[in-house]
Chains A and B, each alone.
Chain A
């Protein structure tokens, strides 16, 4: 098991180097230079030259890239052009906000998605099933930012129940987390339904029913335990994606999260901030996927048993990574 985790972490390194290279070259080769954006039109040539020298922008591309990687390994992501603060500090100041938003949204998606998914599967082909499937399909089709705007119009403007922007009280969190949560709830619901449909057709369900167990117990105790495993994987992956993917919703609700910070940075070509931010997001998503994969192997006895014999261990790890990737 440890060998598997170690291998996965090692495989993370080239990916992160690649992500940095991708973002780095995009920022490097784009027209318009950082000093023009940051220093403004009034700056003299000497000022600009001094700025370039100070930020190491005169070195060749490869040297800049390696310098960046060298510093990043030590946790130094450079200095933000606009605020003159270390990028790492700025990012970790914002990260908890994004993390909390992702966590709350995931809670919504679990509660809504799993409940409706189970009901829909148990009552397959009923009107309820058809309706919820269509609604789920609409749920994945709605642009989250539009859903957010509509919710603001409905709950903040029409009924004046909830605040539309900010992040100070629990009331502020309801609309943004619900907006993102419903979007992932739709995917969770679809996965839960198909997984549950498979589970309730198994022999052990027939056995449980034949024992005279009530329908409710059969579904919640016997079927759910087996059907929930792939759903939990999806929830984990969704959570990782939300850490980086809720940027537009953060803008709609004016939440000062990581995504909001990065988009603001992109607009003024604040290269260190954007590179650092995207790197942290990629790292967070990758770690999330890793944790999900490890938990998956741990929770499912069918997979866990493969790790008992040392020979099979490597093969299983290999197939798990190729399939998951």
Chain B
């Protein structure tokens, strides 16, 4: 082990130690680690729902509607006698997939817009930022609702609707981060060596402007999962019978006076997921903040 460590090139070692510093600072933050653990569990649930619960989430048992928690149905059954635990576990896959896909799209577009605006400045910056202003001026949820209503209920439309709402935040965060990096000496040096604008942005500016963008990913994920459930709650989200926490809530709403537990579990699932991403993001922000080193 010792020998291997010594033989690694110096540059690699330095990079590694910076990563390790961040990791060390992150691990000190207990609540953030707790968030990471929940996220890890959620990912496992999303990857192996049929192993961790029943393989078929549509099995109905009409004789056993609205039953309470029991050994057979851990969290009870819903209005069609479907197992709530199974549907919540599968709902995890729905939420995480749509959340990840839409944040990935928003991140790609937003970071591109933000980098261009921040790096070139001037007219381009002004035009791009006005477009972002337009997106910011409409509340995310109303934007999502009108897109889904216009283009129809499907998972693709939902991903697009949620992504569109997230683009503005990504481009703003990226732009302000790029502006702080743009005028540094190493960027100047790269330009002096004749590197093209594209290369400078990709190789020198973006890697150094990355920290706030990473934090934005976790914040956006949390917000997106909330928005997905909100859209499903108004009936404009994931089409049935795909299990989704928000639509489970909306189904249970009419009978909540008699069966409050039906409302409880899906809500806790949403809250816990969003909570985990928020905790993780908060810890990440502190760990990546160079002012808080040591």
The answer on a CB contact under 8 Å between B145 and A266 is: yes
Interface residues contributed by chain A, number (CB under 8 Å): 47
The answer on a CB contact under 8 Å between A143 and B226 is: yes
CA A6 – CA B63 in complex, angstroms? 67
The answer on a CB contact under 8 Å between B263 and A137 is: no
CA A134 – CA B274 in complex, angstroms? 13
Q: Which of B17-25, B74-82, B85-93, B135-143 contacts A (4 or more CB under 8 A)?
A: B135-143
The answer on a CB contact under 8 Å between A278 and B31 is: no
The answer on a CB contact under 8 Å between A266 and B131 is: no
| Shortest distance from the beta carbon of B145 to any chain A beta carbon, whole Å | 6
The answer on a CB contact under 8 Å between B133 and A15 is: yes
CA A262 – CA B234 in complex, angstroms? 12
CB neighbours (8 Å) of B151 from chain A are 30-31
The answer on a CB contact under 8 Å between A245 and B270 is: no
Say yes or no: A26-B147 contact (C-beta < 8 A), given A143-B230, A149-B263. Answer: yes
CA A140 – CA B249 in complex, angstroms? 19
CB neighbours (8 Å) of A26 from chain B are 146-147, 150
CB neighbours (8 Å) of B59 from chain A are none
The answer on a CB contact under 8 Å between A278 and B256 is: no
Which of B135, B139, B140 counts the most A-chain CB atoms under 10 A from its CB?
Answer: B139
The answer on a CB contact under 8 Å between A149 and B256 is: yes
Closest B residue to A134 using CB positions:
B31
User: Range of interface residues on chain B?
Assistant: 35 or more
CB neighbours (8 Å) of B266 from chain A are 146
In this assembly, does B116 line the interface, its C-beta being within 8 Å of a C-beta of chain A?
Answer: no
Which of B139, B222, B249 lies in contact with A145, CB distance below 8 A? B249
Say yes or no: A244-B279 contact (C-beta < 8 A), given A141-B274, A143-B229, A266-B149. Answer: no
The answer on a CB contact under 8 Å between B137 and A286 is: yes
CA A248 – CA B260 in complex, angstroms? 20
CA A244 – CA B272 in complex, angstroms? 26
Which of B146, B270, B271 lies in contact with A23, CB distance below 8 A? B146
In this assembly, does A297 line the interface, its C-beta being within 8 Å of a C-beta of chain B?
Answer: no
| Shortest distance from the beta carbon of B75 to any chain A beta carbon, whole Å | 16
Q: When each residue 221-237 of chain B gets 1 if its CB lies under 8 Å from chain A and 0 otherwise, what string results?
A: 01000100110011000
CA A286 – CA B137 in complex, angstroms? 7
Interface residues in B257-294 by Cβ distance below 8 A to A read 257, 260, 263-264, 266-267, 270-272, 274-275, 278-279, 282
CA A147 – CA B52 in complex, angstroms? 28
The answer on a CB contact under 8 Å between A15 and B130 is: yes
In this assembly, does B129 line the interface, its C-beta being within 8 Å of a C-beta of chain A?
Answer: yes
The answer on a CB contact under 8 Å between A149 and B249 is: yes
Knowing that A15-B137, A19-B138, A143-B271 are A-B contacts, what are 6 other residue pairs whose CB atoms are under 8 Å apart, sorted by A's residue number?
A14-B130, A15-B130, A31-B152, A134-B31, A137-B279, A259-B142
Residues of A within 8 A of B (CB): 11, 14-16, 18-19, 22-23, 26-27, 29-31, 134, 137-138, 140-143, 145-146, 149-150, 152-153, 157, 241, 244-245, 247-248, 251, 259, 262-263, 266-267, 269, 274, 278, 281-282, 285-286, 323, 325
A-B contact pairs, 12 of them (CB 8 A): A14-B130, A18-B130, A30-B149, A137-B278, A141-B222, A141-B274, A141-B275, A145-B249, A149-B249, A153-B260, A251-B234, A325-B172
Q: Which 4 A-B pairs have the closest CB atoms?
A: A30-B150, A18-B134, A146-B267, A141-B275
